[in-house]
Amino acid sequence: MAESAELFVEQFQEMWRAPTPEGFAALFQEDGHFKHPEMPQPLPASAAQGYMQAVLEVIPDLSLRLRHAAHTDDVVMLEWTQSGTVAGQAINWDGADRFTLHDGLAVEGVAYFDPRPVLAALEIDPGEALSQLGSSVNA
């Protein structure tokens, strides 16, 4: 299992070298799901491409620097710093992702970060922003 987790970390880093909606979706099993802060419910992997497309439309220069990675059995924890320009303002925020793997791909992904820096730059009410995104992508 260690090889599978290490390969997943490499694929995650490769995807973030030049993030694309297709690259994000390729991290997940077909029956997988993921959840980011403010989402009312997890989104199915089938929505991953649309979700990342929407994110990249708002933050076209989005990047991620992996700071730490750890794994046990089929769980991978990744600590990172993301950066991007939002509404003309350069911002950074820290967070972590937890992925549960099956056959080397995520069946579950959960992101842990404070979305307020992004939402403040967009002048969006934190209570509505990502829940609306989650609803629109899931529709």
Radius of gyration, CA atoms only, the chain: 14
For residue 12, what is the DSSP state?
A: H
Q: What are phi and psi of 135, to 5 degrees?
A: -70, -40
Say whether domain 2-138 belongs to CATH 3.10.450.50.
yes
Q: What average pLDDT does the segment 117-130 reach? A: 74
Spatial separation of the C-alpha atoms in residues 133 and 92, rounded to whole Å: 21
- Looking at per-residue pLDDT, the higher value among 131 and 105 belongs to 105
pTM to 2 decimal places: 0.86
- pLDDT mean across residues, the chain: 90
User: pLDDT band at 42, cuts 50/70/90?
Assistant: very high
Percent of the chain clearing pLDDT 90 (strictly above) = 71
Encode pLDDT of 77-110 as tens digits. 999 999 999 989 999 999 999 999 999 999 999 9
Could you list the beta-strand ranges (E) of the chain. 28-35, 43-44, 63-72, 75-86, 89-102, 105-113
Predicted confidence at residue 80, as pLDDT, reads 98
Tell me: pLDDT of 132 over 70: no
